Amino acid sequence: MINTTLCYIRRGDEYLMLHRVKKKNDLNQDKWIGIGGKFEDKESPEDCLLREVFEETGLILTSYRFRGIVTFCSENYPTEYMCLYTADGYTGTLTECTEGELAFVAREEITKLKLWDGDRLFLELLKEERPFFSLKLCYHEDGTWYRAMLDGRELELFDICDEKGEPTGEVMERGMVHHYGKMHRTAHIWIVNRMPDGSYQVLLQKRSKKKDSYPGYYDISSAGHIHAGDSYLPSARRELAEELGIEAGEEELQLIGYHRADLRTSFYGKPFLDQEISAVYLYEKPVRIADLILQESEVEGAAFFELEEALSRVRNGTLPNCIYEDELQMVKDALISMGKYQED
């Protein structure tokens, strides 16, 4: 077990950052981090903070705040408990650091630097002026993170993708993905029932009023994000089971294509930039509304609509929805191409 401190020293709208490029065999090699280090015997967090800042920068802190505890779990190293600080008062003159290059960097530009993925999360929490928090970050042997918990609550982590939907190796927390408009993956499942006359109905779920985006709106039958390290098909099956109580086999979900979405809006005064690539599946086994087991936190209800009616109402805006018209058209086109549906 290791105890450390880390401090972000503020000058106006800048933080003092350390680019770790001088120390040999450095865990943080080539990363940009704040100022800090390990506790020495009999030191308090504040003792360690003040000593490390002076040793690495030559500055003497006169005003600082204890912002949170960050627990690091790694497959390579002992568990680390880090006391996180910010400081806005100091005296002295900045000196050369033996562990790297010091530089004041605009806070809005810090995310463009080479950072640990988890650091991006707690930097965002500092920016939001979140009250004292406990954050747990878990890393694989290769340095990618796979789990994050904030004040005991599990956070969702997504793989960031390129334009083809291939993971780039960067992993980011859900809120940050939508704040910065990072490309990520989702699975969309459209449930369709064939009627005796050859027409089709499509099941639309009604989103819970507790949702942070589009509460109470009609949406795809079932949909969800692909968690970091997961793939499309298992995620599609998981979402169907969680949201609607449908246990679907892999062979029962038919991939009909991929949909690229680019949504730029805001919710509750915060920007919401949604760039996603969705694997679109059809599920054609007969479904009855009465048999569904709805996930109350996500789904308020569900209803079948004639496919043509759904398309028309999505197109003309008479149905409160957050459905992409071109994706619903994909469903119709797929049924036509399979010879299962004929237009009047």
Is residue 239 a contact partner of residue 224, using CB atoms and an 8 Å limit? Answer: yes
Q: Is the pLDDT of residue 267 over 80?
A: no
Q: Is the pLDDT of residue 88 over 70?
A: yes
Radius of gyration, alpha carbons of the chain: 25
3-state secondary structure of 45: helix
- The share of the chain scoring above pLDDT 70, in percent, equals 99
pLDDT in the model for residue 344: 61
- Neighbour-count burial for 312-337, b at 16+ CB within 10 Å, e otherwise: ebbeeeebebebbeebbebbbebbee
The model's confidence at residue 26, banded by pLDDT at 50, 70 and 90, is: confident
Average confidence (pLDDT) over 243-270: 91
pLDDT in the model for residue 213: 81
The model's confidence at residue 340, banded by pLDDT at 50, 70 and 90, is: confident
The model's confidence at residue 52, banded by pLDDT at 50, 70 and 90, is: very high
Average confidence (pLDDT) over 105-112: 94
Nearest to residue 286, comparing CAs of 221, 198, 196, 191? 191
Q: Which domains does the chain have, with CATH numbers?
A: 2-155 (3.90.79.10), 183-337 (3.90.79.10)
Average confidence (pLDDT) over 160-174: 92
Per-residue pLDDT tens over the stretch 274-292: 899 999 999 999 999 999 9
Average confidence (pLDDT) over 189-209: 94
The model's confidence at residue 265, banded by pLDDT at 50, 70 and 90, is: confident
What is the DSSP track for 107-139?
A: GGGGGGS---HHHHHHHHHHHTT--SEEEEEEE
